[in-house]
Amino acid sequence: MARSTQKSSAPASGNAITADLVAVLVAVTEGTPRIMTIAGGSALPSGPFEFSHRSLQTALRAWVEAQTGHPLGYVEQLYTFADPGRSGDVKGPHSVSISYLGLTREDRVGEGFEAHWSGWYDYFPWEDHRAGAPAFLAKMVAPKLKAWAKSAPSPTLQRERWQRCAITFGLDDRDWNEELVLQRYELLYEASLIPEAGRGNGREASVVPGKPMTADHRRILATGIARLRAKIKYRPVVFELMPAEFTLLQLQRSVEALAGRLVHKQNFRRLIEQQELVEETGAIATEAVGRPAKLFRFRYAVLAERAVAGTKLPLSRT
């Protein structure tokens, strides 16, 4: 299929609307959550919906395969973004982005494709708490958020702003909630602490570390991460990211990579056994360091019934 970089033709008027399909394609490789990107890592795979496409998913799969050479497996719709001026071009046609979350396993990108795999914590370094809270949160982000809260025009608004900051970023001895990925990104945007906040007004100064993306693709990515972090707690979708056979430690590390925090090893394994999610293959991991590790696979019944409520893969807290 020939690649195209052209958007759907529509008059650039105040009534014009364009619809784009955007894919958050996730893999976990050696304990690192990865996303498929294009344009040097600054954009997610995307393309316009055209009348020749039979359905939204058909169009999405066609665009992703054309841009990346990677076929889509599991995919679900995320959210529709339709805020005016999302791309920073307030004079252009109104753009609607329909986003999807896809789960896969990382393959080498073939020659002739602009895509490559990127670590999602390159875009959201504040979300990785596996080694504890990143130091720059307390040293850099919290003081900037406090200054932003104090800049509100009234004491009431100042208190409300800081309460939002404390809840969202786990400040003032509050617990960190790994699912609030989108809320944290949007709060940093509102406080003008990320480059995307300055687009359209001639400034792109960045205070918080993290790689920006074109238009609002980082916001779309945040939505995908939040969805997946919530979903791994009540659906065994993580199997879509695992090889056919794996050790329990590999499974645990994959869940931790996605959640951005550690889990209690014994509690995690007990939960896996209680839910009867996996079964032994009878083989041993040959590359395991130290004590030989048994290889497991997901039970076929779980694979066949993954959409049935009650089949859980809970995230245990440390």
Instruction: State which amino acid sits at residue 191.
Output: A
How high is the pLDDT of residue 2?
40
Split at pLDDT 50, 70, 90, the class of 180 is very high
How high is the pLDDT of residue 82?
81
How high is the pLDDT of residue 49?
79
User: Tens of pLDDT along 26-50?
Assistant: 999 999 999 999 999 999 999 887 7
How high is the pLDDT of residue 99?
93
pLDDT at residue 237 greater than cutoff 80: yes
Split at pLDDT 50, 70, 90, the class of 274 is confident
Distance separating alpha carbons of residues 189 and 245, to the nearest angstrom: 41
Q: Is residue 54 a contact partner of residue 133, using CB atoms and an 8 Å limit? A: no
Q: What is the mean pLDDT of residues 165-183?
A: 97
How high is the pLDDT of residue 25?
95
User: Tens of pLDDT along 137-162?
Assistant: 999 999 999 999 999 999 999 999 99
Split at pLDDT 50, 70, 90, the class of 203 is low
β-partners of residue 26 are 35, 103
Q: Which domains does the chain have, with CATH numbers?
A: 17-122 (3.90.79.10), 125-210 (no CATH), 232-304 (1.10.10.10)
Q: Is residue 44 a contact partner of residue 35, using CB atoms and an 8 Å limit? A: yes
Q: Is residue 234 a contact partner of residue 312, using CB atoms and an 8 Å limit? A: yes
